[in-house]
Amino acid sequence: MRVKNLMTWFMGIDIGSVYSKGVLTKDSELVASCVILSGANYRVAAETIRHELLKQVNLSQDDITNIVATGSGAANVHFAGRKASDIICTARGINSIFPRVKTAIDVAGQSTKVMRLDTQGMVTNFVVSEKCAAGSGRFIEVIANVLRIDLNDFGPLSLKSQNPITFNTGCAVFGETEAITRVAEGISKEDIAAGVNNALATKISSLVKRVKLAEPCAICGGGALNIGLVKAVEQELNIQLLMPPQPQIIAALGAAIIAQT
């Protein structure tokens, strides 16, 4: 018979537009995490994440003290104790890893957010770009699809570029057409990939400037897995960025931390 678990476990679930992320903490330590595609049914995604996290540490739902949900699909996590905004969760998450961070950039599948934080991880200012695909990770996905390259290869490939193209458009739809034209002209995949990273980096840096950059600055979200984009943002802002080891789960981690309070 299993002894009733006396430790305190907390769960954070972040249902995003493309990926859903989950984190389990024990005594404030990250003990389990998972990332899945959100798919068409966010309720199913939330259930899958809970099941997966509990399985990883061999616990049952009753062992979890509290669950906080965040992300655009947070309302679908019906078993959550409460919901919290993704801005606050991301800020908490990044603060738990880099306590001195003053600016956090979150590049997600359908939006980009930039937050200014105080030393307690409280958000003092933020700006969100969510109207336009060209300002989010989606732009990279669209072009990766044109170039027929896996998203995981996109960053390393772009770093090989000697001569990045300049996109004439700020629109992801027109950008797609432009990429197709460049492919037809015989421009290399790496030059096109580097061009997209630069285009997105320019948009991100203008968002950063709107909240006034303060260092140290960290980058997270799925977009941070693209090393080419991270380098391009660094170049654009002329700084070095801090990057957490698992940049995709930061908001979920923040949600788990908020669940403790």
Partner 1 sequence: MYFAGVDIGSTMTKIVLTDTDGRVLSAIKGPTGPEHRQLANEVMKTALEQAGLQLDDISYVVATGYGRFNVPFADRQITELSCHAKGVSSLFPNARTAIDIGGQDAKCLKIHNGKLIDFVMNDKCAAGTGRFLEVIAATLGIRLDDLGDIALKSAKKIQISNFCTIFAQQEVVSRLSEGEKLEDIVAGLHDALASRVAALARRLKVEPDVVLTGGVAKNIGMVKAMKENLGCELLVPKDPLITGAMGAAILAKEHAMEAIAKGEPVPTKPRRLEKATFFH
Task: For residue 187, state whether it binds partner 1 (rule: CB under 8 A).
Answer: no
Instruction: Figure out which of the listed residues 50, 116, 138, 231 binds partner 1, where binding follows CB under 8 A.
Output: 138
Touching partner 1, residues 21-40 (CB under 8 A): 40
Which residue, 46 or 172, has its beta carbon nearer to partner 1?
172
Task: For residue 131, state whether it binds partner 1 (rule: CB under 8 A).
Answer: yes
Instruction: Figure out which of the listed residues 172, 218, 237, 257 binds partner 1, where binding follows CB under 8 A.
Output: 172
* Helix, strand, coil abundance in the chain, percent, nearest 5: 45, 20, 30
Q: How far is the CB of 19 from partner 1 (least distance, A)?
A: 14
- Expressed in angstroms, the distance from the first to the final Cα of the chain is 31
Task: For residue 44, state whether it binds partner 1 (rule: CB under 8 A).
Answer: no
Are 42 and 15 in contact by the 8 Å Cβ rule? The answer is yes
Task: For residue 75, state whether it binds partner 1 (rule: CB under 8 A).
Answer: no
Task: For residue 203, state whether it binds partner 1 (rule: CB under 8 A).
Answer: no
CA distances from 102 to 93, 118, 206 (A): 13, 6, 17
Contacts of 42 (CB under 8 A, 6+ apart): 15, 20, 73, 76, 77
Instruction: Figure out which of the listed residues 110, 202, 206, 260 binds partner 1, where binding follows CB under 8 A.
Output: 110
Task: For residue 181, state whether it binds partner 1 (rule: CB under 8 A).
Answer: yes
**CA dist., res. 32 & res. 216, Å (int):** 27
Residue ranges of E strands in the chain: 9-15, 19-26, 29-37, 64-70, 82-83, 103-107, 112-117, 123-129, 217-220, 241-242
Task: For residue 4, state whether it binds partner 1 (rule: CB under 8 A).
Answer: no
Task: For residue 206, state whether it binds partner 1 (rule: CB under 8 A).
Answer: no
Interface contacts to partner 1, rule CB under 8 A: 17, 40, 110, 131-134, 138, 142, 169-174, 177, 180-181, 184
